[in-house]
A and B are shown apart, each in its own frame.
Chain A
Protein backbone atom coordinates (compact mmCIF):
# COMPACT_ATOMS: atom_id res chain seq x y z
CA UNK A 1 0.00 0.00 0.00
CA UNK A 2 2.62 2.50 -1.01
CA UNK A 3 0.57 5.62 -1.38
CA UNK A 4 3.06 7.46 -3.56
CA UNK A 5 2.49 5.01 -6.39
CA UNK A 6 -1.28 4.87 -6.18
CA UNK A 7 -3.48 7.78 -7.27
CA UNK A 8 -4.47 10.05 -4.39
CA UNK A 9 -8.22 9.67 -4.76
CA UNK A 10 -8.35 5.94 -4.07
CA UNK A 11 -10.71 4.97 -1.27
CA UNK A 12 -8.61 3.76 1.65
CA UNK A 13 -9.48 1.63 4.62
CA UNK A 14 -9.54 4.80 6.68
CA UNK A 15 -12.53 6.17 4.82
CA UNK A 16 -14.21 2.79 4.89
CA UNK A 17 -13.83 2.71 8.65
CA UNK A 18 -15.24 6.21 9.01
CA UNK A 19 -18.27 5.39 6.87
CA UNK A 20 -18.75 2.18 8.84
CA UNK A 21 -18.68 4.00 12.17
CA UNK A 22 -21.06 6.71 10.97
CA UNK A 23 -23.47 4.09 9.61
CA UNK A 24 -23.33 2.20 12.90
CA UNK A 25 -24.03 5.39 14.85
CA UNK A 26 -26.95 6.32 12.62
CA UNK A 27 -28.33 2.81 12.76
CA UNK A 28 -27.81 2.37 16.50
CA UNK A 29 -31.51 2.21 17.34
CA UNK A 30 -32.17 -0.24 14.56
CA UNK A 31 -29.18 -2.30 15.65
CA UNK A 32 -30.20 -2.54 19.30
CA UNK A 33 -33.73 -3.36 18.16
CA UNK A 34 -32.52 -6.27 16.05
CA UNK A 35 -30.41 -7.55 18.90
CA UNK A 36 -33.30 -7.44 21.35
CA UNK A 37 -34.13 -11.13 21.03
CA UNK A 38 -33.27 -13.27 24.08
CA UNK A 39 -31.00 -15.68 22.22
CA UNK A 40 -29.16 -12.92 20.35
CA UNK A 41 -28.79 -10.91 23.54
CA UNK A 42 -27.27 -13.87 25.31
CA UNK A 43 -24.96 -14.49 22.35
CA UNK A 44 -23.88 -10.84 22.26
CA UNK A 45 -23.05 -10.90 25.96
CA UNK A 46 -21.02 -14.08 25.60
CA UNK A 47 -19.22 -12.62 22.59
CA UNK A 48 -18.21 -9.46 24.42
CA UNK A 49 -17.32 -11.56 27.47
CA UNK A 50 -14.95 -13.82 25.51
CA UNK A 51 -13.28 -10.81 23.85
CA UNK A 52 -13.01 -8.80 27.06
CA UNK A 53 -11.67 -11.78 28.96
CA UNK A 54 -9.11 -12.81 26.35
CA UNK A 55 -7.86 -9.41 25.10
CA UNK A 56 -5.75 -8.59 28.19
CA UNK A 57 -4.01 -11.94 27.87
CA UNK A 58 -3.45 -11.39 24.18
CA UNK A 59 -1.95 -7.99 25.00
CA UNK A 60 0.33 -9.68 27.50
CA UNK A 61 1.33 -12.18 24.82
CA UNK A 62 2.15 -9.55 22.21
CA UNK A 63 4.22 -7.63 24.76
CA UNK A 64 6.27 -10.74 25.52
CA UNK A 65 6.49 -11.44 21.82
CA UNK A 66 7.63 -7.88 21.12
CA UNK A 67 10.19 -8.07 23.91
CA UNK A 68 11.63 -11.28 22.48
CA UNK A 69 11.85 -9.67 19.05
CA UNK A 70 13.55 -6.55 20.34
CA UNK A 71 15.72 -7.67 23.21
CA UNK A 72 16.47 -11.38 22.84
CA UNK A 73 18.70 -12.26 19.96
CA UNK A 74 18.37 -15.53 18.09
CA UNK A 75 21.85 -16.42 19.34
CA UNK A 76 20.87 -15.99 22.97
CA UNK A 77 17.85 -18.23 22.49
CA UNK A 78 20.02 -20.85 20.82
CA UNK A 79 22.42 -20.81 23.72
CA UNK A 80 19.53 -21.12 26.17
CA UNK A 81 18.00 -24.19 24.58
CA UNK A 82 19.66 -27.59 24.23
CA UNK A 83 20.68 -28.20 20.63
CA UNK A 84 19.01 -31.55 20.13
CA UNK A 85 15.20 -31.43 19.80
CA UNK A 86 14.97 -34.58 21.93
CA UNK A 87 16.25 -32.49 24.85
CA UNK A 88 14.86 -29.11 23.85
CA UNK A 89 11.27 -30.35 23.66
CA UNK A 90 11.10 -31.35 27.36
CA UNK A 91 12.82 -28.08 28.30
CA UNK A 92 10.10 -26.17 26.43
CA UNK A 93 7.48 -28.23 28.24
CA UNK A 94 8.95 -27.27 31.61
CA UNK A 95 9.23 -23.63 30.48
CA UNK A 96 5.49 -23.78 29.88
CA UNK A 97 4.94 -24.89 33.48
CA UNK A 98 6.84 -21.93 34.81
CA UNK A 99 5.14 -19.25 32.69
CA UNK A 100 1.59 -18.50 33.73
CA UNK A 101 0.25 -17.86 30.30
CA UNK A 102 -3.20 -17.92 28.85
CA UNK A 103 -3.63 -19.84 25.59
CA UNK A 104 -4.24 -16.64 23.67
CA UNK A 105 -0.94 -15.23 24.90
CA UNK A 106 1.03 -18.33 23.95
CA UNK A 107 0.27 -18.08 20.23
CA UNK A 108 2.12 -14.82 19.43
CA UNK A 109 4.98 -15.88 21.70
CA UNK A 110 5.33 -19.19 19.87
CA UNK A 111 5.41 -17.42 16.54
CA UNK A 112 8.12 -15.07 17.77
CA UNK A 113 10.18 -18.01 19.00
CA UNK A 114 9.98 -19.59 15.54
CA UNK A 115 10.96 -16.29 13.96
CA UNK A 116 14.00 -16.18 16.22
CA UNK A 117 15.10 -19.54 14.82
CA UNK A 118 13.98 -21.67 17.72
CA UNK A 119 13.14 -25.11 16.27
CA UNK A 120 9.38 -25.22 15.56
CA UNK A 121 9.06 -28.47 17.53
CA UNK A 122 10.17 -26.58 20.63
CA UNK A 123 7.83 -23.67 19.96
CA UNK A 124 4.96 -26.09 19.41
CA UNK A 125 5.66 -27.78 22.75
CA UNK A 126 5.66 -24.41 24.47
CA UNK A 127 2.45 -23.44 22.69
CA UNK A 128 0.67 -26.47 24.14
CA UNK A 129 2.30 -26.62 27.57
CA UNK A 130 2.12 -22.97 28.62
CA UNK A 131 -1.67 -22.60 28.88
CA UNK A 132 -2.37 -26.09 30.18
CA UNK A 133 0.04 -26.89 32.99
CA UNK A 134 0.92 -23.54 34.55
CA UNK A 135 0.40 -23.02 38.33
CA UNK A 136 -2.72 -20.84 37.98
CA UNK A 137 -4.56 -23.49 36.00
CA UNK A 138 -3.49 -26.26 38.36
CA UNK A 139 -4.61 -24.32 41.43
CA UNK A 140 -7.95 -23.62 39.74
CA UNK A 141 -8.32 -27.34 39.17
CA UNK A 142 -7.57 -28.13 42.81
CA UNK A 143 -10.24 -25.64 43.89
CA UNK A 144 -12.79 -26.97 41.40
CA UNK A 145 -12.35 -30.62 42.38
CA UNK A 146 -12.00 -30.45 46.15
CA UNK A 147 -12.51 -34.15 46.79
CA UNK A 148 -10.39 -35.38 43.90
CA UNK A 149 -6.69 -34.52 44.17
CA UNK A 150 -5.97 -37.17 41.53
CA UNK A 151 -7.78 -35.01 38.98
CA UNK A 152 -5.05 -32.35 39.16
CA UNK A 153 -2.30 -34.89 38.71
CA UNK A 154 -4.16 -36.51 35.82
CA UNK A 155 -4.69 -33.14 34.16
CA UNK A 156 -1.04 -32.20 34.58
CA UNK A 157 0.15 -35.54 33.20
CA UNK A 158 -2.31 -35.56 30.30
CA UNK A 159 -1.56 -31.99 29.21
CA UNK A 160 2.21 -32.23 29.56
CA UNK A 161 2.15 -35.54 27.66
CA UNK A 162 0.11 -33.90 24.89
CA UNK A 163 2.67 -31.11 24.57
CA UNK A 164 5.66 -33.47 24.57
CA UNK A 165 4.11 -35.93 22.12
CA UNK A 166 3.13 -33.13 19.73
CA UNK A 167 6.62 -31.62 20.05
CA UNK A 168 8.25 -34.94 19.24
CA UNK A 169 5.89 -35.60 16.33
CA UNK A 170 6.66 -32.16 14.98
CA UNK A 171 10.40 -32.69 15.37
CA UNK A 172 10.07 -35.87 13.30
CA UNK A 173 7.54 -34.91 10.64
CA UNK A 174 6.91 -31.17 10.83
CA UNK A 175 7.78 -29.00 7.83
CA UNK A 176 8.79 -25.40 7.78
CA UNK A 177 6.81 -24.61 4.63
CA UNK A 178 3.55 -25.18 6.52
CA UNK A 179 4.08 -21.95 8.35
CA UNK A 180 2.83 -18.81 6.66
CA UNK A 181 5.63 -16.89 5.03
CA UNK A 182 4.93 -13.83 7.17
CA UNK A 183 5.24 -15.94 10.33
CA UNK A 184 8.81 -16.77 9.43
CA UNK A 185 10.01 -13.42 8.13
CA UNK A 186 12.98 -12.32 10.16
CA UNK A 187 12.93 -8.87 11.59
CA UNK A 188 15.91 -6.65 10.87
CA UNK A 189 18.26 -7.07 13.82
CA UNK A 190 17.75 -4.10 16.12
CA UNK A 191 20.68 -1.75 16.49
CA UNK A 192 20.89 0.82 19.29
CA UNK A 193 18.62 0.98 22.32
CA UNK A 194 16.22 3.44 20.75
CA UNK A 195 15.57 1.32 17.71
CA UNK A 196 15.10 -1.67 20.00
CA UNK A 197 12.21 0.07 21.73
CA UNK A 198 10.76 1.02 18.37
CA UNK A 199 10.98 -2.60 17.28
CA UNK A 200 9.33 -3.64 20.53
CA UNK A 201 6.38 -1.28 20.10
CA UNK A 202 5.97 -1.91 16.39
CA UNK A 203 6.12 -5.72 16.69
CA UNK A 204 3.69 -5.77 19.59
CA UNK A 205 1.30 -3.49 17.74
CA UNK A 206 1.45 -5.51 14.55
CA UNK A 207 0.96 -8.79 16.41
CA UNK A 208 -1.99 -7.35 18.26
CA UNK A 209 -3.74 -6.21 15.09
CA UNK A 210 -3.00 -9.55 13.40
CA UNK A 211 -4.13 -11.78 16.21
CA UNK A 212 -6.93 -9.58 17.54
CA UNK A 213 -9.13 -10.13 14.50
CA UNK A 214 -8.78 -13.86 14.81
CA UNK A 215 -9.61 -13.71 18.47
CA UNK A 216 -12.82 -11.94 17.51
CA UNK A 217 -13.72 -14.77 15.10
CA UNK A 218 -13.14 -17.22 17.92
CA UNK A 219 -15.29 -15.16 20.25
CA UNK A 220 -18.10 -15.03 17.70
CA UNK A 221 -18.04 -18.78 17.17
CA UNK A 222 -17.94 -19.49 20.88
CA UNK A 223 -20.90 -17.17 21.42
CA UNK A 224 -23.00 -18.84 18.74
CA UNK A 225 -22.24 -22.31 20.05
CA UNK A 226 -22.79 -21.27 23.63
CA UNK A 227 -26.33 -20.41 22.66
CA UNK A 228 -26.96 -23.21 20.17
CA UNK A 229 -25.52 -26.16 22.12
CA UNK A 230 -27.63 -26.68 25.22
CA UNK A 231 -25.61 -28.02 28.13
CA UNK A 232 -28.57 -30.15 29.12
CA UNK A 233 -27.48 -32.56 26.36
CA UNK A 234 -24.67 -33.57 28.62
CA UNK A 235 -26.96 -34.74 31.39
CA UNK A 236 -28.46 -37.32 29.06
CA UNK A 237 -25.08 -38.97 28.43
CA UNK A 238 -24.88 -40.50 31.89
CA UNK A 239 -22.63 -43.50 32.08
CA UNK A 240 -21.96 -44.06 28.38
CA UNK A 241 -18.24 -43.62 28.75
CA UNK A 242 -17.09 -43.61 25.10
CA UNK A 243 -19.84 -41.32 23.95
CA UNK A 244 -19.15 -39.13 26.96
CA UNK A 245 -15.47 -38.83 26.08
CA UNK A 246 -16.23 -37.95 22.49
CA UNK A 247 -18.90 -35.39 23.33
CA UNK A 248 -16.77 -33.73 26.00
CA UNK A 249 -13.76 -33.56 23.67
CA UNK A 250 -15.84 -31.90 20.96
CA UNK A 251 -17.47 -29.62 23.50
CA UNK A 252 -14.06 -28.50 24.78
CA UNK A 253 -13.22 -27.42 21.22
CA UNK A 254 -16.53 -25.72 20.58
CA UNK A 255 -16.98 -23.82 23.84
CA UNK A 256 -13.46 -22.28 23.75
CA UNK A 257 -13.32 -21.65 27.47
CA UNK A 258 -10.39 -19.96 29.16
CA UNK A 259 -8.09 -22.57 30.71
CA UNK A 260 -8.43 -20.81 34.04
CA UNK A 261 -12.17 -21.45 34.11
CA UNK A 262 -12.71 -24.76 32.38
CA UNK A 263 -12.09 -26.80 35.53
CA UNK A 264 -15.11 -25.20 37.17
CA UNK A 265 -17.29 -25.96 34.19
CA UNK A 266 -16.07 -29.55 34.19
CA UNK A 267 -16.74 -29.82 37.91
CA UNK A 268 -20.29 -28.61 37.42
CA UNK A 269 -21.02 -31.39 34.91
CA UNK A 270 -21.28 -33.87 37.71
CA UNK A 271 -23.67 -36.16 35.86
CA UNK A 272 -20.61 -37.46 34.00
CA UNK A 273 -17.85 -39.79 35.25
CA UNK A 274 -14.44 -38.22 35.86
CA UNK A 275 -12.73 -39.49 32.71
CA UNK A 276 -14.81 -37.57 30.15
CA UNK A 277 -14.37 -34.47 32.27
CA UNK A 278 -10.61 -35.00 32.31
CA UNK A 279 -10.66 -35.24 28.51
CA UNK A 280 -12.50 -31.91 28.49
CA UNK A 281 -9.74 -30.34 30.60
CA UNK A 282 -6.86 -31.71 28.54
CA UNK A 283 -8.35 -30.96 25.11
CA UNK A 284 -9.66 -27.45 25.86
CA UNK A 285 -6.37 -25.61 26.47
CA UNK A 286 -4.62 -27.58 23.71
CA UNK A 287 -7.05 -26.84 20.92
CA UNK A 288 -10.33 -25.00 20.62
CA UNK A 289 -12.02 -22.84 18.03
CA UNK A 290 -10.64 -19.60 19.37
CA UNK A 291 -7.11 -21.05 19.35
CA UNK A 292 -7.57 -22.53 15.90
CA UNK A 293 -8.51 -19.20 14.38
CA UNK A 294 -5.66 -17.52 16.26
CA UNK A 295 -3.17 -20.10 15.01
CA UNK A 296 -4.46 -19.96 11.46
CA UNK A 297 -4.06 -16.19 11.48
CA UNK A 298 -0.74 -16.04 13.26
CA UNK A 299 1.12 -19.10 12.09
CA UNK A 300 -0.64 -19.83 8.83
CA UNK A 301 -3.66 -21.78 7.68
CA UNK A 302 -1.63 -24.69 6.34
CA UNK A 303 -0.07 -25.09 9.74
CA UNK A 304 -3.38 -24.88 11.60
CA UNK A 305 -5.30 -27.41 9.49
CA UNK A 306 -2.59 -30.00 10.15
CA UNK A 307 -1.79 -29.09 13.71
CA UNK A 308 -5.32 -28.77 15.12
CA UNK A 309 -6.78 -32.20 14.22
CA UNK A 310 -3.58 -33.98 15.26
CA UNK A 311 -3.52 -32.10 18.57
CA UNK A 312 -7.14 -33.06 19.14
CA UNK A 313 -6.44 -36.77 18.66
CA UNK A 314 -3.22 -36.73 20.69
CA UNK A 315 -4.86 -34.78 23.52
CA UNK A 316 -7.81 -37.18 23.72
CA UNK A 317 -5.48 -40.20 23.78
CA UNK A 318 -3.14 -38.65 26.34
CA UNK A 319 -6.10 -37.77 28.55
CA UNK A 320 -7.48 -41.31 28.36
CA UNK A 321 -4.10 -42.83 29.21
CA UNK A 322 -3.46 -40.35 32.02
CA UNK A 323 -6.96 -41.00 33.32
CA UNK A 324 -6.42 -44.74 33.20
CA UNK A 325 -3.12 -44.51 35.07
CA UNK A 326 -3.89 -41.79 37.60
CA UNK A 327 -7.62 -42.05 38.14
CA UNK A 328 -7.59 -45.81 37.75
CA UNK A 329 -10.30 -46.15 35.11
CA UNK A 330 -13.38 -44.21 34.05
CA UNK A 331 -14.94 -43.63 37.51
Chain B
Protein backbone atom coordinates (compact mmCIF):
# COMPACT_ATOMS: atom_id res chain seq x y z
CA UNK B 1 0.00 0.00 0.00
CA UNK B 2 1.32 3.43 -0.91
CA UNK B 3 2.05 6.02 1.72
CA UNK B 4 -0.60 8.32 0.29
CA UNK B 5 -3.23 5.65 0.76
CA UNK B 6 -2.06 4.93 4.28
CA UNK B 7 -2.28 8.61 5.11
CA UNK B 8 -5.77 8.92 3.72
CA UNK B 9 -6.84 5.91 5.75
CA UNK B 10 -5.35 7.42 8.89
CA UNK B 11 -7.15 10.71 8.27
CA UNK B 12 -10.42 8.84 7.74
CA UNK B 13 -9.93 6.72 10.85
CA UNK B 14 -8.98 9.71 12.98
CA UNK B 15 -11.98 11.52 11.53
CA UNK B 16 -14.20 8.60 12.47
CA UNK B 17 -13.01 8.78 16.07
CA UNK B 18 -13.59 12.53 16.19
CA UNK B 19 -17.01 12.14 14.60
CA UNK B 20 -18.31 9.71 17.21
CA UNK B 21 -16.75 11.85 19.94
CA UNK B 22 -18.45 15.06 18.87
CA UNK B 23 -21.81 13.55 17.97
CA UNK B 24 -21.93 11.63 21.23
CA UNK B 25 -22.43 8.28 19.53
CA UNK B 26 -19.22 7.07 21.20
CA UNK B 27 -21.44 6.33 24.19
CA UNK B 28 -22.87 3.40 22.25
CA UNK B 29 -19.45 1.78 22.24
CA UNK B 30 -17.40 2.85 25.26
CA UNK B 31 -17.86 4.39 28.69
CA UNK B 32 -18.08 8.19 29.00
CA UNK B 33 -14.58 8.49 30.50
CA UNK B 34 -13.08 7.46 27.14
CA UNK B 35 -14.13 10.71 25.44
CA UNK B 36 -10.87 12.59 25.81
CA UNK B 37 -8.89 9.47 24.84
CA UNK B 38 -10.87 9.25 21.61
CA UNK B 39 -10.42 12.94 20.79
CA UNK B 40 -6.72 12.72 21.52
CA UNK B 41 -6.29 9.58 19.43
CA UNK B 42 -8.22 11.10 16.53
CA UNK B 43 -6.14 14.27 16.60
CA UNK B 44 -2.85 12.33 16.81
CA UNK B 45 -3.81 10.12 13.87
CA UNK B 46 -4.69 13.07 11.69
CA UNK B 47 -1.55 14.93 12.78
CA UNK B 48 0.71 11.97 11.99
CA UNK B 49 -0.87 11.66 8.56
CA UNK B 50 -0.63 15.44 8.03
CA UNK B 51 3.08 15.48 8.84
CA UNK B 52 3.67 12.70 6.35
CA UNK B 53 1.56 14.35 3.66
CA UNK B 54 3.32 17.65 4.30
CA UNK B 55 6.74 16.11 3.87
CA UNK B 56 5.55 14.36 0.75
CA UNK B 57 4.37 17.61 -0.77
CA UNK B 58 7.59 19.38 0.19
CA UNK B 59 9.46 16.52 -1.48
CA UNK B 60 11.52 16.03 1.62
CA UNK B 61 11.02 12.34 1.95
CA UNK B 62 14.29 10.47 2.25
CA UNK B 63 14.64 7.41 0.11
CA UNK B 64 15.91 5.20 2.91
CA UNK B 65 13.73 2.75 4.72
CA UNK B 66 10.07 3.12 4.12
CA UNK B 67 9.98 2.90 0.37
CA UNK B 68 10.99 -0.71 0.64
CA UNK B 69 8.67 -1.33 3.49
CA UNK B 70 5.42 -2.93 2.48
CA UNK B 71 3.16 -3.29 5.43
CA UNK B 72 1.22 -6.41 4.52
CA UNK B 73 -2.24 -6.19 3.16
CA UNK B 74 -3.47 -5.93 6.73
CA UNK B 75 -3.50 -2.14 6.56
CA UNK B 76 -6.50 -2.43 4.25
CA UNK B 77 -8.53 -3.64 7.18
CA UNK B 78 -8.45 -0.11 8.59
CA UNK B 79 -11.18 0.58 6.03
CA UNK B 80 -13.60 -1.56 8.04
CA UNK B 81 -13.95 0.56 11.18
CA UNK B 82 -14.07 3.66 8.96
CA UNK B 83 -16.96 2.28 6.92
CA UNK B 84 -18.64 0.91 10.02
CA UNK B 85 -18.61 4.29 11.74
CA UNK B 86 -19.45 6.52 8.77
CA UNK B 87 -21.91 4.36 6.89
CA UNK B 88 -23.44 1.86 9.29
CA UNK B 89 -23.05 3.51 12.73
CA UNK B 90 -24.04 0.36 14.64
CA UNK B 91 -26.66 1.03 17.31
CA UNK B 92 -26.20 0.51 21.03
CA UNK B 93 -26.57 -3.07 22.22
CA UNK B 94 -30.13 -4.04 23.05
CA UNK B 95 -32.52 -6.90 23.54
CA UNK B 96 -30.49 -9.26 21.35
CA UNK B 97 -27.57 -9.05 23.79
CA UNK B 98 -29.88 -9.51 26.75
CA UNK B 99 -31.32 -12.69 25.29
CA UNK B 100 -27.87 -13.91 24.30
CA UNK B 101 -26.40 -13.38 27.73
CA UNK B 102 -28.68 -15.75 29.56
CA UNK B 103 -28.99 -15.26 33.28
CA UNK B 104 -26.16 -14.02 35.41
CA UNK B 105 -26.67 -12.59 38.86
CA UNK B 106 -25.77 -8.96 39.52
CA UNK B 107 -22.46 -7.76 40.82
CA UNK B 108 -21.70 -8.05 44.49
CA UNK B 109 -22.69 -11.67 44.61
CA UNK B 110 -19.47 -12.64 46.39
CA UNK B 111 -20.97 -11.02 49.42
CA UNK B 112 -23.74 -12.14 51.64
CA UNK B 113 -26.35 -9.52 52.36
CA UNK B 114 -24.89 -6.19 53.35
CA UNK B 115 -26.33 -2.93 54.57
CA UNK B 116 -26.65 -0.33 51.85
CA UNK B 117 -26.76 3.37 52.73
CA UNK B 118 -30.35 4.60 53.21
CA UNK B 119 -32.18 5.97 50.18
CA UNK B 120 -33.24 9.62 50.06
CA UNK B 121 -36.83 10.39 50.97
CA UNK B 122 -39.41 11.34 48.34
CA UNK B 123 -42.47 9.99 46.60
CA UNK B 124 -40.99 8.49 43.48
CA UNK B 125 -37.32 7.68 43.64
CA UNK B 126 -35.27 7.66 40.43
CA UNK B 127 -32.79 4.78 40.58
CA UNK B 128 -30.40 3.23 38.08
CA UNK B 129 -31.29 -0.30 37.05
CA UNK B 130 -28.03 -1.63 38.50
CA UNK B 131 -28.58 -0.05 41.87
CA UNK B 132 -32.15 -1.28 42.02
CA UNK B 133 -31.21 -4.84 41.14
CA UNK B 134 -28.25 -4.87 43.53
CA UNK B 135 -30.28 -3.53 46.40
CA UNK B 136 -33.08 -5.97 45.68
CA UNK B 137 -30.58 -8.81 45.78
CA UNK B 138 -28.23 -7.95 48.61
CA UNK B 139 -29.56 -5.18 50.82
CA UNK B 140 -30.12 -6.49 54.33
CA UNK B 141 -31.87 -3.30 55.43
CA UNK B 142 -34.69 -3.76 52.92
CA UNK B 143 -34.44 -0.14 51.82
CA UNK B 144 -36.55 -0.80 48.72
CA UNK B 145 -39.52 -2.27 50.57
CA UNK B 146 -42.57 -0.11 50.09
CA UNK B 147 -40.70 2.41 47.95
CA UNK B 148 -41.93 3.55 44.56
CA UNK B 149 -39.06 3.87 42.11
CA UNK B 150 -38.60 5.21 38.60
CA UNK B 151 -36.49 3.03 36.31
CA UNK B 152 -35.36 3.62 32.75
CA UNK B 153 -34.57 0.82 30.36
CA UNK B 154 -35.77 -1.01 27.28
CA UNK B 155 -38.39 -3.73 27.01
CA UNK B 156 -37.41 -7.34 26.35
CA UNK B 157 -39.93 -10.14 25.91
CA UNK B 158 -38.74 -13.63 26.70
CA UNK B 159 -41.50 -16.15 26.21
CA UNK B 160 -44.57 -14.77 27.98
CA UNK B 161 -42.55 -12.69 30.41
CA UNK B 162 -41.73 -9.05 29.88
CA UNK B 163 -38.59 -7.53 31.33
CA UNK B 164 -37.24 -4.06 31.72
CA UNK B 165 -33.55 -4.34 30.90
CA UNK B 166 -30.45 -2.29 30.57
CA UNK B 167 -26.92 -3.32 29.68
CA UNK B 168 -24.10 -2.54 32.00
CA UNK B 169 -20.61 -1.90 30.62
CA UNK B 170 -17.33 -1.38 32.40
CA UNK B 171 -15.02 -0.48 29.56
CA UNK B 172 -16.62 -1.05 26.18
CA UNK B 173 -19.66 -2.76 24.73
CA UNK B 174 -17.69 -6.02 24.40
CA UNK B 175 -17.94 -6.53 28.14
CA UNK B 176 -21.62 -5.63 28.45
CA UNK B 177 -23.88 -7.74 30.60
CA UNK B 178 -27.57 -7.26 31.28
CA UNK B 179 -29.40 -6.14 34.38
CA UNK B 180 -33.09 -6.84 34.20
CA UNK B 181 -36.28 -6.60 36.16
CA UNK B 182 -39.39 -8.69 35.55
CA UNK B 183 -42.49 -6.58 34.89
CA UNK B 184 -45.46 -8.28 36.53
CA UNK B 185 -48.67 -8.13 34.53
CA UNK B 186 -49.16 -7.18 30.89
CA UNK B 187 -48.39 -3.46 31.15
CA UNK B 188 -45.42 -3.86 28.80
CA UNK B 189 -47.15 -6.02 26.20
CA UNK B 190 -47.95 -3.06 23.95
CA UNK B 191 -44.24 -2.23 23.68
CA UNK B 192 -42.02 -4.01 21.20
CA UNK B 193 -38.56 -5.29 22.10
CA UNK B 194 -35.98 -2.51 22.41
CA UNK B 195 -38.51 0.26 23.04
CA UNK B 196 -37.18 2.57 25.69
CA UNK B 197 -39.58 3.18 28.55
CA UNK B 198 -39.75 4.78 31.93
CA UNK B 199 -41.41 2.60 34.53
CA UNK B 200 -42.79 3.71 37.87
CA UNK B 201 -42.94 0.56 39.92
CA UNK B 202 -42.57 -1.11 43.26
CA UNK B 203 -40.43 -4.11 44.15
CA UNK B 204 -42.23 -7.35 44.96
CA UNK B 205 -40.52 -8.11 48.31
CA UNK B 206 -38.43 -11.26 48.29
CA UNK B 207 -38.69 -11.72 44.52
CA UNK B 208 -34.92 -11.66 43.98
CA UNK B 209 -33.79 -15.20 44.67
CA UNK B 210 -30.94 -17.55 43.87
CA UNK B 211 -33.33 -19.61 41.77
CA UNK B 212 -34.34 -16.79 39.43
CA UNK B 213 -30.74 -15.57 39.07
CA UNK B 214 -31.51 -12.52 41.17
CA UNK B 215 -33.93 -11.02 38.69
CA UNK B 216 -36.42 -9.13 40.89
CA UNK B 217 -40.07 -8.57 39.98
CA UNK B 218 -41.86 -5.27 40.16
CA UNK B 219 -45.51 -4.28 40.09
CA UNK B 220 -45.94 -1.57 37.49
CA UNK B 221 -47.81 1.62 38.37
CA UNK B 222 -47.18 3.36 35.10
CA UNK B 223 -45.13 2.82 31.99
CA UNK B 224 -44.43 5.46 29.37
CA UNK B 225 -42.23 5.62 26.27
CA UNK B 226 -39.08 7.76 26.34
CA UNK B 227 -36.42 8.51 23.73
CA UNK B 228 -33.24 6.45 23.94
CA UNK B 229 -30.98 8.14 26.51
CA UNK B 230 -27.70 9.68 25.31
CA UNK B 231 -25.83 7.14 27.37
CA UNK B 232 -27.68 3.89 26.79
CA UNK B 233 -25.68 1.89 29.32
CA UNK B 234 -25.41 1.55 33.06
CA UNK B 235 -21.94 1.80 34.53
Contact = CB atoms under 8 A, between A and B. Distances in A.
A205 B48 contact: yes
B13 A212 contact: yes
Q: Top 3 closest A-B pairs, CB basis?
A: A232-B102, A213-B74, A261-B171
A246 interface: no
Interface in B89-107: 90-93, 95-97, 100-107
Interface stretch (B61-69, B143-151, B196-204): B61-69
A56 B64 CA distance: 29
Given A45-B29, A187-B65, A59 B45 contact: yes
Contacts of A57: 37
B211 interface: no
A13 B173 contact: no
A25 B86 CA distance: 10
Interface stretch (A34-42, A89-97, A110-118, A125-133): A34-42
B70 interface: yes
A86 interface: no
Nearest to B64: A188
A17 B48 contact: no
Interface of B: 1-2, 4-10, 13, 17, 20, 26, 28-30, 34, 37-38, 40-41, 44-45, 48-49, 51-52, 55, 64-67, 69-81, 83-85, 87-88, 90-93, 95-97, 100-111, 170-175, 177
A47 B80 CA distance: 10
Contact of A14 (B4, B71, B110): B4
B4 to A, nearest CB: 5
Contact of B87 (A25, A56, A59, A145): A25
Given A59-B45, A145-B110, 14 more contacts: A14-B4, A17-B5, A24-B83, A45-B28, A63-B44, A147-B110, A202-B52, A213-B73, A213-B74, A220-B80, A256-B174, A258-B175, A264-B171, A268-B104
Contacts of B10: 205, 208-209
A53 B34 contact: yes
A34 B93 CA distance: 17
B72 to A, nearest CB: 7
Contacts of A147: 110-111
Contacts of A52: 17, 20, 26, 29-30, 34, 38, 81, 172
